Amino acid sequence: MSHDHQAQDQKLVYMANQIATFFNSQSDDHAIGEIANHIIKFWDPRMRAKITAYVGHGGAGLSPRAQSAVERLPQPQPQSAE
């Protein structure tokens, strides 16, 4: 993995962890749902795909809540060639 990809991954990890920190006072179930909703609403589909792939490779550095939220994200649908 190139340094640029690592830097991008770490930026996404930082962002997801910041969102998770915002919901620290909430119960796990509620917080994880809200973190996932935030990522769905405000992150570009490419960012969501990258963080999902990152979690698929272990998700190092993600808080447990952030990782759980990413695992709840809907899987991207392949684009059909028309």
pLDDT at 81: 58
The first and second tokens of residue 54, run together, are 């990152």
Contact 17, 51 (CB under 8 A): no
pLDDT of 20: 98
Range 3-13 burial, b when 16+ CB lie within 10 A, else e: eeeeeebeebb
Q: What is the pLDDT of residues 43-73, one digit of tens each?
A: 999 999 999 999 999 999 999 999 999 999 9
Residue 5 is predicted with a pLDDT of 82
